Amino acid sequence: MRQLPVIPPEGYTPEDIKFISDRVLELVYTAWDMQPFAKDIGYDGEPFIWNSNRRALLRAELDAYYAKLYGLTRDELRYILDPADIYGADFPSETFRVLKNNEMKQFGEYRTQRLVLEAWDRMFR
């Protein structure tokens, strides 16, 4: 178990847990059938409205936050999101080709990359 690249439970601060659980709650609790989960983590309100743009922002914040928890720098995160962003268009490796291609078609940009890096900049610069 110690060889797996996971953060052990004791590696999370109370602030980490609050940040993560607030976002996970909003991503998961979008229907009444998830109410037991919401109550288990101390939330007694109504389900959150499904908003695709809001969900993308929440996921981006979680991605940036976890990158920081794993000790990555902003440039290392950029590399993970798109190695060509660091090494140029001729770089022979890709990480999220399907996601990038789908977002280029749908949004005219690699939206996930932009949102994650914007979240990083808001939280860690």
Query: How many other CB atoms are found less than 10 A from the CB of residue 51?
Result: 12
pLDDT tens, residue order, the chain (125 aa)? 778 889 999 999 999 999 999 999 999 999 999 999 999 999 999 999 999 999 999 999 999 999 999 999 999 999 999 999 999 989 988 899 999 999 999 999 999 999 999 999 999 98
Alpha carbon 121 to its chain's center? 14
- Nearest CA among 61, 43, 68 for reference residue 112: 61
Rounded CA-CA distance 26/21 in Å is 9
The pLDDT of residue 80 is 96
pLDDT the model gives residue 86: 92
Give pLDDT, residue 5.
87
- One-letter amino acid of 90: D
Q: Do residues 61 and 123 make contact, with C-beta atoms less than 8 angstroms apart?
A: yes
* Residue 11 to residue 34: CA distance in whole angstroms: 27
Q: Where are the alpha helices (DSSP H) in 1-125?
A: 14-28, 35-40, 52-69, 74-81, 83-87, 97-107, 111-124
What pLDDT score does 45 carry?
97
The pLDDT value given to residue 2: 75
